[in-house]
Every structure is written in C-alpha cells, then in structure tokens.
Homo-oligomer: A and B are copies of this chain.
C-alpha cells in the first residue's frame, strides 16, 4: 500500500497531494465511525439540524468533487441532496422505522463554484408509508444552484 502511495506521490502536483490528503482523512473518519459511509468521507460532509423541520448538509467545494469543467459534479450535487434529504427523514423517524429513496427530481440551476456547497432540506409531506422532502443547494454567494424533491418510502427497520 505504501508502495502504491509512493508511486502516486512521486508524480503528484501540490494540488494533487492536497486532494489525496483530504481523501485519506475521509477514509480515516469512516474507519473511526465519524462517517457512516465512504461516500460521506469522499464528500467531506458535515450536517446539522437547523430546526424541527430543516436539516443542513455542507461539503467543501474542492477539486475532489469537480467535473472536467472545474465545477461541482452533478453526481456529487445529487449525492449531497440525497444525503441531506434522507438524513432529515431518518433522524425524524422512530427507531423502529427506516426510509428508502423511491424517487428524486433535481433541477440544476447554476454553477457549483465558491468555497462550499450548502444543502437545506425540509419535509413537505408525511404519511405512514411515505414522506416527500424538498431540498435547495446554495453556494457561498447565496445563489441557488439546485432545487430538488424526493419521495421516501417508510419501511420497518430490520433489527
């Protein structure tokens, strides 16, 4: 493993070393259970509940998540949205229930540039078997870069 790392470092630019370091930090946080998934580590996500019905997830906008045009990759924005909506639902459900995304609709509105991408999700509708959630993604200058809705099926949690 160290050999592979050396091989990578040998040919790397400063920027690439920085990216790799961020990635390894994410892996470490996954191993220590700070993150529950490698995806969260890759994104470097941090989240918190803003109020009863609003959840915020933030990712640094670094080269690790860019598309070839040097802006946030649409797949990354979709991942941020899915996590922000799903986490809001999960943390609101009783411990006997879980949720799975059944549908997601995203409108991409502006370039994901700046220092970080901030996603705010809110519950629009709740029933026994289904929750509908909306989410907006903003950049530092408060421009909305994506707006989304998601449909979640509520299922019994396997213990």
Contact = CB atoms under 8 A, between A and B. Distances in A.
A110 to B, nearest CB: 8
Given A1-B9, A105-B149, 19 more contacts: A1-B17, A1-B20, A2-B5, A20-B27, A36-B68, A38-B63, A38-B66, A75-B79, A102-B107, A102-B108, A102-B130, A102-B151, A103-B105, A103-B106, A103-B107, A103-B151, A105-B105, A107-B124, A132-B147
Interface of A: 1-2, 4-9, 11-12, 16-17, 19-21, 23-25, 27-28, 31, 36-39, 42, 63-69, 73-76, 78-83, 86, 98, 100-110, 124-125, 129-130, 132, 134, 144, 147, 149, 151, 153
Nearest to A111: B100
Contacts of A23: 23, 27, 38
